[in-house]
Structure 1
Amino acid sequence: MEWRDEGIVLAARPHGETSVILEMFTRAHGRHLGVVHGGVSRKKSPMLQPGNQLDAVWRARLESHMGGWTVELKRSRAAGILSDPLRLAALTSACSMASFALPEREAMEDFQTRTEDLCDAIVDGKGWITDYVYWEMALLEVTGFRLDLSACAVSGGANDLAYVSPRTGRAVSRSGAGEWASKLLKLPDILLGGAPSIEGAVAALEVTGFFLENRLAPSLGNRPVPPARQRLLAALKSEV
């Protein structure tokens, strides 16, 4: 078995004394793992950092085997933002969340393209905070936990939306909430197309975080949401 693809490094974990297990989010083959022999070397280790773009060949005797990678660096993203803790936290969080949430070996070309675009935006430093918020919304959608913020779950109207139901993930208007308002999640303006701000992004990530922790994580065997996401949220709060 052999194929060639391009993708983003999600993680690289030690394997034996000199090798690593490289996890990539590839364009045509989804989240995929394989061994990189000599991956801890000075030559190879820098290219295997989360967020980097690689051209890769995967080979295995059988499709069911883990197989091995031969890789070439296409774009080094992590190295360019080492001096910016906030953007580095965002890049690390995106890679960690993709590794945590996405099924293995399932092609997701649209979401993979969106993830590459997010990583590029983080490195370029333009509009990435809003992009990250909507990327998490998309992550919930591709994993089966879409938030429907198009209309009120009670009245069906699209006016004065102010809350999100923690049970259904649907928007609720002020009038539709009634006496249940205190039990609903507040709907940040940024999720309705409002002006971007760090405060709005923090509020939005607290909403998506609720569903990541209380809906997605239980579906994955109650594995904890990666700490990298909490570090990003803490870094954003420190900027407010």
Structure 2
Amino acid sequence: MEWRDEGVLLSVRKHGETSVIIDVLTASHGRHAGVVRGGVSRKMTPILQPGSQLDLIWRARLSDHLGSFTVEPIRSRTAGVMNDRLALAGLNAIAALVRFALPEREAHPGLFQGTVTLLDLLSVTDAWPLAYLRWELALLDELGFGLDLSRCAVTGSFDDLAYVSPRTGRAVSQQGAGEWADRLLPLPLCLLGQGDASDREIVDGLSTTGHFLAGQLAHSVGKQLPAARDRLIDLLARQG
């Protein structure tokens, strides 16, 4: 068995004396693991950093085997975020959340492209946290837990949307919320794709996406949300 694909490196762990096992998100083969022989060498260590874009060849005797990777670098993202604590936290959160959420060997080409775009933004604009929030929305939607923020679930109105139902994931307007407002999740304008956002608004948005990530998605995969996401939100909250 053999295939070639492009992928983003999510994690690396040592395997034996000289090899490593890498976990990658690929364009056509989903999240995939494999051994890299000589992965601890001086040549390979700088290449095998989380966030790196790689040209990959995977080989195995049978399709359900772990298999091995031959890798060539396309571009590294380490240098662009290493001196930016928030951007580095963003990279770690993205990699950890992909590993948490996506089943192995299930292709999600749209999410792959969105993830690559987000990773590229980390080193080129301070506005990337808003893109990260929208990426979490896309992740929920991709896996069947998308939010319906188009109209109020109570009144049917398209206007004055201010909350999200924690049970259904549907938007609720100020009028529709009534006395139940304090039991609903926040719906900042940035979750509706309207304009820029402060760090405080983004944190509010992440509290809403986090409710569904930690509830519905985490329950479906039988895992807890990665700590790397909490660290990112903590840094954003301190800035807000």
Task: Extract structure 1 runs of 4+ deviating beyond 2 A.
Answer: none
Long gaps (5+) in structure 2:
none
Matched with 1:201 is: 202
- State the Cα deviation string for residues 172-209 of structure 1 (Å, max 9, x = none): 01111122111111111211214322111111111111
Give distance in 1, aligned partners of 2:53 and 2:25.
10
* Structure 2 residue identity aligned to 1:76: S
Matched, 1:89 2:53: no
Q: State the partner residue of 1:24.
A: 24
TM-superposed deviation, 1:214:
1.3
Taking the TM superposition and a 5 Å limit, the aligned residue runs for 1:70-85 are: 70-85=70-85
- What is the count of residue pairs matched by the alignment? 239
| Structure 1, unpaired ranges of 5+ | none
Higher mean alpha-carbon deviation, 83-92 vs 194-203, is at 194-203
Shift of 1:123: 2.0
Residue number in structure 1 paired with 2:163: 163
Give TM-score, length-normalised by structure 2: 0.96
d(CA) in 1 for partners of 2:168, 2:63: 38
Paired residues of 2:130 and 2:196 also in contact (CA < 8 A): no
Root-mean-square deviation over aligned CA pairs: 1.1
Report Cα offsets for 1:92-111 as digits up to 9, x if no partner: 11111011101211111111
The residue identity in structure 1 corresponding to 2:50 is P
Determine if the alignment matches structure 1 residue 217 to structure 2 residue 218.
Answer: yes
Whole-angstrom CA distance in 2 between matches of 1:30 and 1:124: 26
The TM-score with structure 1 as length reference comes to 0.96
Say if 2:19 and 2:37, in contact at 8 Å, map to a contact too.
yes
Q: Does 1:5 align with 2:5?
A: yes
Match of 1:231 in 2: 231
Using the TM superposition, give the Cα deviation of residue 126 of structure 1 relative to its aligned residue in structure 2, in angstroms.
4.8
Cα displacement string for residues 49-80 of structure 1 (whole angstroms, at most 9, x for unaligned residues):
11110001000000111100000110000222
